[in-house]
Amino acid sequence: MDNLKKILTKIPLLLTLVLTSLALSLVAYAGRDRGYRDYEVDPAQEPFLSVVLTGLHDHVYPWTDPDRKTEKEEPEPEAGDKTEESSEAKEEESGEAAEPSEGEGGSENAEASPEETSSEEGEGTEEPSQEESEEEGQGEETQEAEPEPEPEPEPEPEKPWEPTIGSHAVVLQNQLTAIPDGVCSPVVGAKDYGVADSRYRSPEDTVYNTDTEGLFAMRNFYYLQTSVDSSYFSDALFIGDSRTGGFSIYGNMNENCSFIYKESLSVYTVFSEMLTYRKSNGTSYSNTLEEILTTNTFDKIYICLGVNELGIPDTIRYYERYRTILERIHEMQPDAILYIQGVMHVSEKKSSEDDTYNNTIIVERNKAVATLANGWNIFYIDMNSAVCDDNGNLLPELSSDGVHLYGSQYGRWTEFLKGHAIVR
């Protein structure tokens, strides 16, 4: 106890503050049902004594009657009260002005009540009665106007595109993190035989497209795939390697659309080499892709590249180059629908024995470029569902080398495209 007294004598200021805080807290507690009844305080957020300090600021004390209104708390007169006060003020002013005047009826106007003035016509001066009638009319209008009409809703901001009944599209209220089903084809998987060379792959945790703005960003509306006939491809261009070359000859599409291709073409050489350009009228000649895209207009452009890049490290590099190609094509053909065609798989024999040309690497790269689809002008389609078995391997009866289709089997590719088209 002696030690406690010594400590307390050394800290008189602290003791004073503690006692003061305790006293104010007791005062706040005592007045909780009267003066401080309307004050709310959370002891976990602020001390209880803050009620007393707030009350002093508001001129409220523990003994204050909570039902007594101060002058500051008196409600302001409503619009109707203001109108009556203004009319009375005007009448008083008109009465005062009439007293010193020598005109007839001046004293009668000063003594007349507002009701008599408004109900009797022709008595007193005409000016006050006109003012009063106008004020009464305004009062009636004020009463009729209540309740106030609800404000008109603000017009919605103009949307870049609005779907119509029968259009092949879906509109979402909120942005998704993935494109809805039915917009793009799912990436077809394949069995991993464990022979793929790691040099040609990227780490499993590699993140590809994450754009929230620009060409590769998703929006809140998407076009849905639908079925079309051959006329749909009359304004289409197919870009690709030897597989696209075979499709141009055996796919029964050469009279409907245009092709530009070359054997061993890759994403790294597509803009630097002379290619074979085959027009829909059957004529063909050599030209560059840039020249063809600059001098012609296409509504749909199909890109099928990737098999010749399987032996070039690695998936992220392939993805970045593919991304650049799409940006460049879009600059020259801004109104065209761009189709990313998934690389066609190889046969089981090829995939299980070859460390480079195998479906494990193909599927990884298809997944990477599929992220570039945005669902409104860039779409991913995967025709492997039309030519592969349950393990994702190219059916052996469709190919002689396990890489290219027989000429008679390119019709599968054609039918797939007709069933997975975008109509805007």
Q: Which of 67, 100, 133 is the last residue of a domain?
A: 100
> Is residue 123 situated within a structural domain?
no
Cβ neighbour number for residue 306 with a 10 Å cutoff: 24
| 344: in domain | yes
Q: What is the mean pLDDT of the chain?
A: 80
Q: Is the pLDDT of residue 295 over 80?
A: yes
Whether residues 95 and 180 fall in one domain: no
**Statement to judge: residues 77 and 181 lie in one domain:** no
- Asked if residue 398 is part of any domain, the answer here is yes
Among residues 100, 134, 153, the one where a domain terminates is 100
pTM above 0.85, yes or no: no
Residue 118 included in any domain: no
Same domain for 56 and 204?
no
Give the chain's domain count.
Answer: 2
What stretches of 83-172 adopt beta strand conformation (E)? 169-171
pLDDT at 124 over 50: no
Asked whether residue 77 is domain-assigned, the answer is yes
Residue 380, pLDDT above cutoff 80: yes
Q: What share of the chain is helix, strand, coil (3-state, %, to 5)?
A: 40, 10, 50
Q: Do 182 and 266 lie in a common domain?
A: yes
Q: What is the per-residue pLDDT across 78-111, written as a single tens digit (0 to 9) for each?
A: 444 444 444 454 444 444 444 444 444 444 444 4
The answer, yes or no, to whether residue 50 has pLDDT greater than 90, is no
What are the beta bridge partners of residue 422?
Answer: 225
User: Do 249 and 363 fall within a single domain?
Assistant: yes
Q: How far apart are CA 76 and CA 410, in angstroms?
A: 85
Please check whether residue 179 lies inside any domain of the structure: yes
On whether both 94 and 190 belong to a single domain, the answer is: no
Quick: pLDDT tens for 157-193.
655 444 443 457 777 666 557 899 999 999 999 999 9
130 within a domain of the structure (yes/no): no
In a domain, 345, yes or no: yes
Answer with the one of 78, 100, 122 that is the final residue of a domain. 100
Give the residue numbers spanning the domain of 41: 12-100
